[in-house]
A and B are shown apart, each in its own frame.
Chain A
């Protein structure tokens, strides 16, 4: 059974810092891995999608990497801003989407 873990559960950083969020999964037989952002009381917004054949994807200040063999993905956020404050969720897609419990990020001005 696929299990997805995200570390850390919460993170507080000063504005401008570069930071890394971690996601690990137990079964490497996945179609893809997707990173989402969730603002309080809102739905999920897709940030980056990495197909199983890819190693990384970039969008603006965000870079996500995937190492299927070790069951790990990282989301790198460069030059963090207060507007980046949100919960970040990773999800792996095999038969269905399985989510981690998220990392709650707070960027302090």
Chain B
């Protein structure tokens, strides 16, 4: 029962490099989310996908792109990394179960941009 799996767990990038954070869920959920967590700021939504083939911007989308590759996978891409993108990134998925929505989170990706 893997739940939500994120890779990699840790990454160090140089300013201007690009990378893709991977997220996969095995719970057959329709909705998936990417958040970043910074000290004192809580979790802020970057992008979300309500269903396969759809994506929407969240609170802090600038500098990021996403792809909902299929129902299981939702990737987050940094095209040109900046030090301001140093953060912990969390992927989540959610679904309504018997009328109640519940969110499940991955273990996070700790990204440092130098």
Residues of chain A touching chain B, judged by Cβ–Cβ distance below 8 Å, are 4, 31-32, 34, 36, 42-46, 49, 51, 89, 91, 93, 96-102
In this complex, how many residues of chain B approach chain A with their Cβ under 8 Å: the count is 23
B100 close to A (CB within 8 Å): yes
A44 to B108, CA, bound (A): 9
Among B93-108, those with CB < 8 Å from A are 94, 99-108
Residue numbers in A under 8 Å from B102 (CB-CB): 32, 34, 46, 49
Stretch among B11-19, B36-44, B66-74, B76-84 lining the A interface: B36-44
Residues from chain A with Cβ under 8 Å of B106 in the complex: 43
From A42, A51, A97, A100, contact of B103 by CB (8 A): A97
B108/A43 in contact, CB under 8 A: yes
- Report B-chain residues with C-beta under 8 Å of the C-beta of A31: 101
B98 to chain A: closest residue by CB: A51
Are B100 and A51 interface neighbours, CB within 8 A?
yes
Could you tell me the distance between the alpha carbons of A49 and B99 in the complex, rounded to whole angstroms?
A: 12
Partner pick for A97 among B92, B100, B108, CB 8 A cutoff: B92
**Contact yes or no, B99 A91, CB < 8 A:** no
Could you say which residues of chain B place their CB within 8 Å of the CB of A34? Answer: 102-103
Q: Are B101 and A100 in contact (CB under 8 A)?
A: no
Which of A46, A89, A96: most chain B CB closer than 10 A?
A96
A93 proximity list for chain B (CB < 8 A): 94, 101, 103
- Beyond A42-B107, A42-B108, A43-B90, is A102–B42 a contact (Cβ under 8 Å)? yes
- The list of the 6 closest CB pairs from A to B, nearest first, reads A101-B42, A99-B43, A44-B105, A43-B107, A43-B105, A99-B42
